[in-house]
A = this chain, B = another copy of it.
Amino acid sequence: MNTVTRSGLRERKKQRTRDALLRVALELFTTQGYEDTTVDEIAEGVDVSQRTFFRYFAGKEDAAFAVQEIAHTQFVAAVRERPLDEAPLEALRNAVLEGWDTIGEAVEQVVPIDLYLRMCRLTEATPALLAAHLRRNDEVAEEVARVIAEREGLDVDTDPRPRVAVAVFAGVIRVMERLWGANEGLGLPELRALTATYLDAVGPVLAEKWRTE
């Protein structure tokens, strides 16, 4: 005769194991490098078998991006909730800037924010991780393109504009990521500012001539 514990002991235990694996994984990745960290080390650090690690994560890579996925989910949701009177690129811009403001608390519920930022840097510096990151970005772009198309009442497979708009936007974000990865010690506020600066650069880029003399 137990009060209906919505979250059984089982569920809580699973959650704790997953969190522990994630934290240990990111900690090891960021301190000794992604390639130089074995799954056995991670599992050992949480005192579970290697097999258990693979029951929680599809692979090493999956653990590396578990936190990033929070950011992606949040961004897509933000785009969905933008007022309909905003133009597409305006909505994307506002959504990403809003994201920089709220990402902190969202991430902090799983791992320290500092760990997340270090992981981002590592991604930029590790070829295998960068490749995976770009592919995930590509998937998010497709999802966002569908959202934009729906906002504008367009068919994403007929009208090229939604996908092109998102591609342009994603490209600029990517440039910003690269820049951030290259410069040591830029925090979230600087990131926000950089994003705005780079998005503002899109207009001038399309001008015919850049040279003034």
Q: Which residues of A contact B (CB under 8 A)?
A: 87-90, 127, 130-132, 134-135, 138, 142, 152-154, 160-161, 163-165, 167-172, 174-175, 178, 197-198, 201-211
Contact = CB atoms under 8 A, between A and B. Distances in A.
26 contacts: A87-B207, A87-B210, A127-B135, A131-B132, A134-B135, A138-B174, A142-B178, A152-B210, A152-B211, A153-B211, A160-B175, A160-B197, A161-B204, A163-B175, A163-B178, A164-B171, A164-B198, A164-B202, A164-B205, A167-B175, A168-B171, A168-B172, A168-B202, A169-B171, A202-B206, A206-B206
Which 3 residue pairs of A and B lie closest in terms of their CB atoms, listed nearest first?
A: A167-B171, A131-B135, A171-B171
Residue among A130, A165, A170 having the largest count of chain B Cβ atoms under 10 Å: A165
Contact of A134 (B134, B172, B210): B134
Nearest to A171: B167
A160 B206 contact: no
Contact of A164 (B88, B165, B172, B209): B172
A201 B207 CA distance: 15
Contacts of A198: 160, 164
A151 to B, nearest CB: 9
A61 to B, nearest CB: 9
B88 A210 contact: yes
Contacts of A163: 175, 178
A168 B210 contact: no
A132 B202 CA distance: 27
Given A131-B134, A134-B131, A164 B210 contact: no
